[in-house]
Structure 1
Amino acid sequence: MNATMYAVRLGLSRGWFEFRHTLASSDQFFNVFTATGFLAVLWFQRDSPVEGMSLSLASMTLPSMLGMMVAFGGLVGPAGALSMNREDGTLLRAKAIPNGMTGYLVGRVVQTSLDALFSLTVVMLPGALLIGGLSGVGFDEFLYLLLVLVVGMLATLPWGAVAGSLAKSPQGAMGFTMLPMMAIISISGIFYPISAMPGWLQGVAQVFPVYWLGLGTRSAMLPDAAVVMEIGGSWRSLEMFGVLGVWAVVGFLLAPTILRRMARRESGADMEQRRHAALQRGVG
């Protein structure tokens, strides 16, 4: 086994171990708390019909939520973890080991993906039982849904790594990701059909992956009749995979270069300075 494959193997083990560790941490408590909030939204929407259709608003919202959660986890999760690992010295130690950065990045991808899967399960299973109306989702639709979610993760995860590399602190990483993401979600048709929004907002939303992820999950889980609520009355599957693919390709082209530059600049003095600043924030 060559050095790179060995690093990948260690990264897979590291990602699994870190995910198991988070199951007993406050991170998963936050995920469960957030999922409870999403389920509460579905509960209040369950009796609100979509105009001209037999579906409830909750039936439209649940698939969109799944896409939103993948985009949110792919961007915010890696950004926060990467910035924290810069502060606690994890990245500096990885840099000092041959192929250590490769193992670190593989581990981060594995943990992020497993975290996303856990969060999706917590929302999807009770959500489907709560609202009904998704009985038409068979094996083929499930595979298509899985494909959409995987492509969506690939489209957002490298940008989370970029944000974490550029941020000076975990708080800065949240500022880079959390606030812009909330603004994008609000215009992406996640909680209300995007076709009811002004045309210029529809155009802005279609630039970002969140809208396309929501569109893809809706196309996998909703009946064909629901397509009338979409822009142009079409699921636009080719455009959806195209836009997500562009975000993924550009992200994976940029992220390694930015990560390498960030790793080269890492030093013990910088880590100690960030640690001191974190202690000061804690005291303050």
Structure 2
Amino acid sequence: MTPMTPHPTTTALRAGWTRGRVELIQSFTNGGDLLSHFLWPALMLTVMYFMRDSAFGSQGLLLGTLALPSILGMNTAMGMLSMSQVLTAEREDGTLLRAKATPHGMRGYFVGKVITVSCGLAADLAIFLVPALFLIEGLSVADAGSWLTLAWVLALGMLATLPFGAVLGSVFTSTRAQGIIQLPVLGLIAISGIFYPVTALPDWLQSVAQVFPIYWLGLGMRAALLPDSAVTVEIGDSWRQWETVGVLGAWAALGFALAPLVLRRAARRESGSSVAQRREKAMRRVG
């Protein structure tokens, strides 16, 4: 009897899982990558330390307490930039071309990158959060509900942002172009209530912020880790968790519909000559 051929999706998932696991292990055993895992959390902890005693408004809330969960949401969204940078770099060095040449290679490649970036991101957030819990007072972390909310916001947030990192990494063909991506993302961070409550901004800026995932990630993290009294600084005096699910879910659905199409289009344009040309340009820049 002829054995059944595995379904292409199953094959891609298995290959992606293996690829992601190997790359994740490498990132935590390589000195340079390991430093990057600790550098950003260390910088954010330094910011939190100096903000920890600053009061906001007349409610008795501390700015550091308000900012800590928002920073978790911001860092989750920044995984989009990590995904974009990785894909752009691997287009330049020919990794994407090699993935294209294997059966179901692009699916497995995408799954592997999602696993690598998301697990690395979760580790970075843990490196930041654990010591921050000892530095910052007033957080609501004593019950299981807080951690459950934190978990689903983190998972849904990564699903909403990482596919768009793949899209950006497919569109921008040079690592130097990544600076173009970072500028609007930093602008969104500035208006999304990360370091200061969004209700302090003009109404039109609040409306712009609510279109994008960064605001909702910060709001979801605040809903998980802040006491109920802190809701008074939010829009409508509400954590709006159903709205958070709806907006992040919509971004996730759009991203997973768009990313495979853009990745396949980028892969079709890859060739040995195009990789060689990009390497030659990179060598000229270094020289």
Same fold (TM over 0.5): yes
The corresponding residue for 2:120 is: 115
Q: Relative to structure 2, which stretch is displaced further, 271-280 or 136-145? A: 136-145
Between stretches 218-227 and 237-246, larger displacement belongs to 237-246
Distance 2:15 2:258 in 1: 24
From 210, 214, 226, the counterpart of 1:210: 214
Alignment of 1:139-150 (within 5 A): 139-150=144-155
Which position in structure 1 is the counterpart of 2:265?
261
Aligned to 2:255: 251
User: Aligned-pair distance for 1:220?
Assistant: 0.8
Cα pair 2:231 2:238 within 8 Å, conserved: yes
Which has the larger displacement, 154-163 or 20-29?
Answer: 20-29
Alignment partner of 1:132: what SS? coil
Alignment correspondent of 2:227: 223
Separation of aligned partners in 2, 1:279 and 1:137? 54
Q: TM-score, normalised to structure 2's length?
A: 0.94
Residue 160 of structure 1, CA deviation: 0.4
Given that 2:140 and 2:226 are in contact with CA atoms closer than 8 Å, whether structure 1 keeps it comes out as no
SS, match of residue 111 in structure 1: helix
Instruction: Quote the Cα distance in structure 1 between the aligned partners of 2:74 and 2:142.
Output: 19
Distance 1:28 1:119 in 2: 10
Of 92-101 and 195-204, deviating more is: 195-204
Relative distance call for 1:153 and 1:176 in structure 2 (3 A) is: farther
Is 1:190 the counterpart of 2:172? The answer is no
Q: Distance in 2 between matches of 1:250 and 1:7?
A: 21
Q: Flag structure 2 segments of 5+ consecutive residues without an equivalent.
A: 1-5
Q: Greater shift after overlay, 131-140 or 151-160? A: 131-140
- Match runs of 1:10-25 below 5 Å: 10-23=15-28, 24-25=30-31
Match of 2:42 among 36, 42, 46: 36
Q: Give yes or no for contact 1:158–1:252 (8 Å, CA) kept in 2.
A: yes
1:1-284 alignment runs, 5 A limit: 1-23=6-28, 24-73=30-79, 75-172=80-177, 174-283=178-287
4+ residue runs over 3 A deviation:
1-4
Instruction: Say if 2:44 and 2:128, in contact at 8 Å, map to a contact too.
Output: yes
Distance 2:27 2:141 in 1: 34
* C-alpha displacement of 1:83: 0.7
The TM-score, its normalising length taken from structure 1, stands at: 0.95
Q: Secondary structure at the match of 1:97?
A: coil
- More divergent stretch after superposition (195-204 vs 131-140): 131-140
Letter in 2 for 1:61: A
Between the aligned residues of both structures, percent identity stands at 48
How far did residue 92 of structure 1 move? 0.6
- Supply the distance in 2 between the matched residues of 1:135 and 1:209 (Cα, whole angstroms): 23
Aligned-residue offset at 1:178: 1.4
Please report the RMSD computed on the Cα atoms of aligned residues, expressed in angstroms. Answer: 1.3
The one-letter code sitting in structure 2 at the alignment partner of 1:197 is L
**Contact 1:78–1:112 (Cα < 8 Å) also in 2:** yes
Count of aligned pairs between the two proteins: 281
Residues in 1 aligned to 2:153 and 2:201: alpha-carbon distance in whole angstroms: 24
8 Å contact from structure 1 (residues 163, 176) kept in 2: no
Q: What amino acid is aligned across from residue 241 of structure 1 in structure 2?
A: V
Please tell me whether the aligned partners of residues 83 and 117 of structure 2 are also in contact (alpha carbons under 8 angstroms): yes
Q: Give the CA deviation at 1:3.
A: 4.3
CA deviation digits over 1:7-35, x for unaligned, max 9?
32121121111112112242331232221
For 1:137 and 1:218, the matched residues in 2 are separated by: 15
Q: Tell which deviates more after alignment, 250-259 or 136-145.
A: 136-145
**Superposition deviation, residue 136 in structure 1:** 3.9
Unmatched runs of 5 consecutive residues or more in structure 1 = none
Separation in 1 of the partners of 2:150 and 2:259? 26
Distance in 1 between residues matched to 2:171 and 2:201, nearest whole Å = 33
